């Protein structure tokens, strides 16, 4: 995978470049099966719209997990995430077309803690919507 990020080489304020994570209806069907979360609003357009949603929306835990993966890939050590919390601030709307949606995630090293841990603040957008807010991960670096 990526090179391991070293605690001593990281500074508060350091930015982690944005990455795009595509989400299609296929992703949601696969995630429903893999996660055991079959809530209809994640695959049934008719019911999603009937409850006032614009269309089928991605599982919040899917979006959250992509944020975790973003941090993990950056740290280069999948054993590194210690704490991770988010607020679900807007849905990721996934239209039934060839493109689907894109979740764009970027981060910044907000604070260096002791014991080789750093706090990474994440931003996640889908289009103009901020889909995660107050998203922070505590990561233990090498």
Residues in contact with another protein by CB under 8 A are 1, 21-22, 27, 30-31, 33-42, 47, 49-54, 57, 59-66, 68-69, 72-73, 77-79, 81-93, 128-129, 131, 133-134
- Strand pairing class (117-126; 101-112): antiparallel
User: Rounded to an integer, what distance in angstroms lies between the CA atom of residue 71 and that of residue 9?
Assistant: 16
CA 62 to chain centre: 7
Output 11 or 16, the one with its CB closest to another protein. 16
Could you tell me the smallest distance in angstroms from the CB atom of residue 35 to another protein? 5
Could you tell me the smallest distance in angstroms from the CB atom of residue 38 to another protein? 4
Could you tell me the smallest distance in angstroms from the CB atom of residue 96 to another protein? 17
Output 10 or 86, the one with its CB closest to another protein. 86
Cβ within 8 Å of residue 130, ≥6 positions away: 89, 90, 123, 124
User: Rounded to an integer, what distance in angstroms lies between the CA atom of residue 72 and that of residue 70?
Assistant: 6
Output 97 or 128, the one with its CB closest to another protein. 128
CA 30 to chain centre: 17
Short-list 121, 126, 127, CA closest to 109: 121
Could you tell me the smallest distance in angstroms from the CB atom of residue 97 to another protein? 18
Output 53 or 119, the one with its CB closest to another protein. 53
């Amino acid at each position: 995978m990526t090179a391991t990020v070293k605690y001593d080489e990281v500074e508060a304020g350091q930015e982690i470049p944005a990455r795009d994570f595509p989400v299609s209806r296929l992703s949601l069907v696969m995630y429903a099966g893999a996660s055991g979360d079959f809530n209809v609003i994640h695959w049934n357009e008719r019911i999603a719209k009937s409850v006032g949603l614009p269309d089928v929306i991605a599982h919040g835990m899917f979006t959250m997990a992509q944020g975790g993966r973003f941090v993990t890939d950056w740290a280069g050590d999948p054993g590194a995430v210690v704490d991770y919390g988010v607020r679900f601030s807007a849905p990721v709307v996934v239209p039934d077309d060839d493109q689907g949606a894109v979740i764009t995630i970027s981060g910044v090293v907000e604070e260096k803690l002791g014991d080789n841990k750093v706090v990474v603040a994440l931003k996640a957008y889908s289009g103009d919507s901020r889909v995660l807010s107050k998203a922070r991960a505590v990561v233990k670096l090498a």
